[in-house]
Amino acid sequence: MSLSFQRWIDSPSVAVAPSLLAADFSRLGEEIKSVEEAGADFLHLDVMDGNFVPNITFGPMIVAAIAKLARRPLITHLMISDPGKYIENFIRAGSSLISFHFEACRSHHAEVLEGLSSRGCYSGLALNPDTPLRAVEHLLDRIDLLLLMTVFPGFGGQEFIPDVLPKIQEASRLRKSKNYRYVIEVDGGVNLDTAPAVREAGAQILVAGSAVFGSKDYAAVIASLRG
C-alpha cells in the first residue's frame, strides 16, 4: 500500500466514524445517507461472531449491502475469532480498511496484516482496554490504523473507560517519535463528555455509535465530537 490511510482524513481536526451498530437497521439506507450528510468521515462497521465476543451482529453480506449505499470509506471492525480466515470475504464486500483484534489470534498477526495489504486493503489492529501497547510493539511499523478500545468489545452503549487515555497518549507519542504511519482510532463510549479527553490524548478518528444515532441532530453531534 503506497498511500497512507491518513489521506482519507482531510479535516485539520479529528475525523468522526459513526458506528452503524446503533443505527435503525430497518431504515439502514436512510441512516447512512443521514450520517454522511451530517458530516461523517467514515462508517464504522462492527462485526461480532458470538465467540470472540458474546454478541452476534452481521457478516460480509450486510457489509456488501452497506458498501452499495455508502459514499464514505468503510472501516470494518472485526470482533471475531480466527480473523485471517474471513478477511478475503470482508475485502470483497467492500471494506476500505479491516481491523482485527490482537487478542483474537494467537500468533500469525503479521501474516494476517500482510494478507490485507497484499490484497490492497488497509490494515488495522484493535486492542482491548487491558492489552498494553508493548504487546504489539513489533507490529506497529506495519499497520495503517491502531484501534484502541475504550470499552470491552461486544456491545454498544457502554461506559467509557478513562484508564485507556494514557495508552492513547503513548500511541500518539510513539507514532511521532518513530514516524509510524498508523492512524489512531478510539472506540467505545465516546460522546460529547468524553470526546475532549480522547482528542486531547491524540486520537485521530473518533468512533461513536449511541452518541450519534441516539441524538436528534446528527450534524450537531458530529461537529461537536470533531471539536
Give residue 62's identity as a one-letter amino acid code. I
Interface region with Zn ion, contact rule CB under 5 A, candidates 52-60, 75-83, 162-170, 217-225: 75-83
Provide the annotated active-site residues: 46, 187
Cell (9 digits) for 167: 495508552
Q: Does 109 contact ligand DX5 by CB under 6 A?
A: no
Rounded CA-CA distance 114/176 in Å is 23
Q: Nearer to ligand DX5 by C-beta: 38 or 151?
A: 151
Within 16-55, which residues bind ligand DX5 (CB under 6 A)? 19, 21-22, 44, 46
Rounded CA-CA distance 100/127 in Å is 9
Rounded CA-CA distance 78/104 in Å is 9
Within 121-160, which residues bind ligand DX5 (CB under 6 A)? 151, 153-158
Rounded CA-CA distance 84/2 in Å is 22
Q: Does 57 contact ligand DX5 by CB under 6 A?
A: no
Q: Nearer to ligand DX5 by C-beta: 76 or 123?
A: 76
SS3 67: helix
CB of 77 to Zn ion, least distance (A): 4
